[in-house]
A and B are shown apart, each in its own frame.
Chain A
């Protein structure tokens, strides 16, 4: 065995593979442009009369009835277009409920899932009998359906508001807790930057979904809220590991400038960050490709969060840290 020499003394160990501080302006421009695009998307949705919120709210937030039907598809099952189903729904006569207004079926939202083998209907709040009438009504165009393969969900709008409130409160408390922890273990700058990176990640994922809401009418549901919360947790986790290295570097190489310390630390954790994002992305990609319709957009939101989260922890957050560097001239 060769005589060991310490890592910090070898010249090769001090050449960063990823000279971040020399590209920091470019990093900021990329992040800035994407955040700006996200904000525009959120703003446009808000201004859009048919949405009126930063993201197109789904059934979980607005209330209504969602019916999912699985077609008994064999040779007999013909081609189906969503338009035919919505036509059929418009002409449907629903049984009445005493003391309730008849639900308006003039603008049903019909989606074909899993290559046309299942059908998703989003409708105003229906009673059980009315839901049954809808199922019978669409059987003539899209049926027959598998008896055990249906789901009917009726959700009151107050639940969505509640979910939103409780998610926001718990997110704020989580922010506070994380900021306190990082302040104690590191210092206030790190805590602030971890939250900046987190806000950056969450904002971009929201922005992408706002654009999807504008362009393909994608709605966000409570699973999306869960995805955002997970992204927030992942983002901080990812950033903290990089900060840990920077701190270690600043102890080992106190003589170097902050920019150099940051460059060395980020380079040292680069493989780890890419590997970890990669291994987290693998199950998510499997979920996207094989998981079926229920978790499809959930997995996409998470995958997006992982990608943006890696960017913010290896590029954005450490490069912002160099802003604190005392000028040397």
Chain B
């Protein structure tokens, strides 16, 4: 008797601990339940690196980690998946395009001087560029307002000529498409007018941003270099000061800003190791650039494979629905068990409630991020947890029918059911572990929740059900076979 009470106390203590744990550390909900964005990127081999190995992944992850932190989303996670993929989760983020842009671009920053004698070409290309950009912007505005007029007020003839110059006459596509092609060509040509990079983002130590004094709506990005960078920057500015040659700031192969260096820097160049980029940025653009530059440039290019965004109310709806399903499913099972098995059925319902409680506590403890398929796995594992109880109770019934005493029937029932419970659970566990260690994504999460469920079901069936049943049997009033079997199924009238 004392032993029974000891076990009972243990089960009770575990239940209290589990409940306390659930109160203090809430369950982690997946993005499909709380809303947010998930971005999967693949790191691609480039240049001399033919295969992406763990070292490269680590290096890319480091840079992306810094950039993600710069995004300022709380509780974001960045995980390596498989050999060459990274999954970024941004809870609550509803604009995944911004994050994808920041993650996806290489942010290779270069400072280059214009080639001697290229000033003339540069001027005309720059004009063409601003003109093309202006038309594109206008068209965009018009498209937004839904009015498409030809009254752009810009010199379209000149543009047509420019298209011819770049071999784009007769190019296919809509007007916008043609303009974009032209802009890309112009950008390429501008970069070609520069000498190779004298200084890159490698020597960058800080990046910041501030609004321009002249125009608070336009922002500039400020840069700070290390010693080597400061020296290179001074050298570069010295060589072009007062010559009219421009200093180009090239990001990812595109010139984003050009600056003149005044003759006063002729002797020593711009020293002190700081510079600023003013490329007509909006506050948001300046912030993105700052984040990218702070994170450094990616050692390898990445490709965005998948972007998922779930709105917060859709997530809440998903939770509500699976909760309704889980609770109504459980209620059905509970009613069934009590009707089919009487007193043991009540015990099973208690044991199953404990099972559900322990399960959730383990999710909070490990922690398991609960997703929609995870909830389905949980609901399913409840169904399977019932199986162990059914196996035991069927055996108890068998024993009672063949005329054994109640206490003996219970003991035999447990020991007889033991081997099939263990076999059934172990085979499921074998497939769970195969799925967990070899599967990816959804499959892995599902295998984890189902595996935890199987282990706990083994525990609750063999200890909780048994302990509760034995505890109840210590009360003489409950020690009646009638509580286990309908009268007609008993072999003969019993005490």
Q: Which residues of A contact B (CB under 8 A)?
A: 1-7, 10, 13, 68, 70, 95-96, 98-99, 127-129, 146-156, 158-159, 162-163, 166-167, 169-171, 173-174, 177-178, 181-182, 185, 222-223, 225-226, 229-230, 232-234, 236-238, 240-241, 244-245, 268-269, 271-272, 275-276, 278-287, 289-292, 294-295, 298-299, 302
Contacts and interface: CB of A to CB of B under 8 A. Distances in A.
Contacts of B420: 240-241, 244-245
B307 A153 contact: yes
A163 B307 contact: no
Q: Is the interface of B mostly helix, strand, loop or mixed?
A: helix
Contacts of A178: 427, 430-431
B376 to A, nearest CB: 6
A311 to B, nearest CB: 17
Given A13-B402, A166-B443, A286-B332, A154 B307 contact: yes
A293 B377 CA distance: 17
A99 B311 CA distance: 30
Interface stretch (B108-116, B174-182, B204-212): B174-182
Given A149-B311, A166-B439, A229 B430 contact: no
B325 A286 contact: yes
A79 to B, nearest CB: 22
B452 interface: no
B383 A174 contact: no
Given A181-B427, A291-B321, A98 B184 contact: yes
A234 B384 contact: yes
Nearest to A156: B305
B326 A150 contact: no
B430 A230 contact: no
A167 B336 contact: no
Contact of B439 (A167, A182, A281, A285): A167
Contacts of B398: 7, 268
Contacts of A290: 321, 324-325, 328
| Most chain B CB neighbours (cut-off 10 Å) among A155, A234, A237 | A237
Interface residues of B, number: 90
Given A151-B311, A177-B431, 4 more contacts: A7-B398, A268-B398, A283-B332, A289-B325
A291 B447 CA distance: 21
18 contacts: A148-B313, A149-B311, A151-B309, A154-B306, A162-B82, A162-B440, A178-B431, A182-B427, A222-B443, A229-B443, A232-B431, A233-B427, A279-B383, A280-B384, A283-B326, A285-B332, A291-B321, A291-B324
A10 B402 contact: yes
Q: Is the interface of A mostly helix, strand, loop or mixed?
A: helix
Given A233-B450, A283-B380, A128 B430 contact: no
Interface stretch (B52-60, B221-229, B276-284, B385-393): B385-393
A156 B318 contact: no
A148 B311 contact: yes
Interface of B: 32, 35, 40, 42, 82, 95-97, 100, 143, 173-174, 176-177, 180, 184, 304-314, 317-318, 321-322, 324-326, 328-330, 332-333, 336-337, 340, 372-373, 376-377, 379-380, 382-384, 386-387, 390-391, 394, 398, 401-405, 419-420, 423-428, 430-435, 437-443, 446-447, 450, 491-492, 494-495
| Most chain A CB neighbours (cut-off 10 Å) among B322, B380, B447 | B380
A299 B430 contact: no
A285 B423 contact: no
A105 to B, nearest CB: 15
A272 B424 CA distance: 13
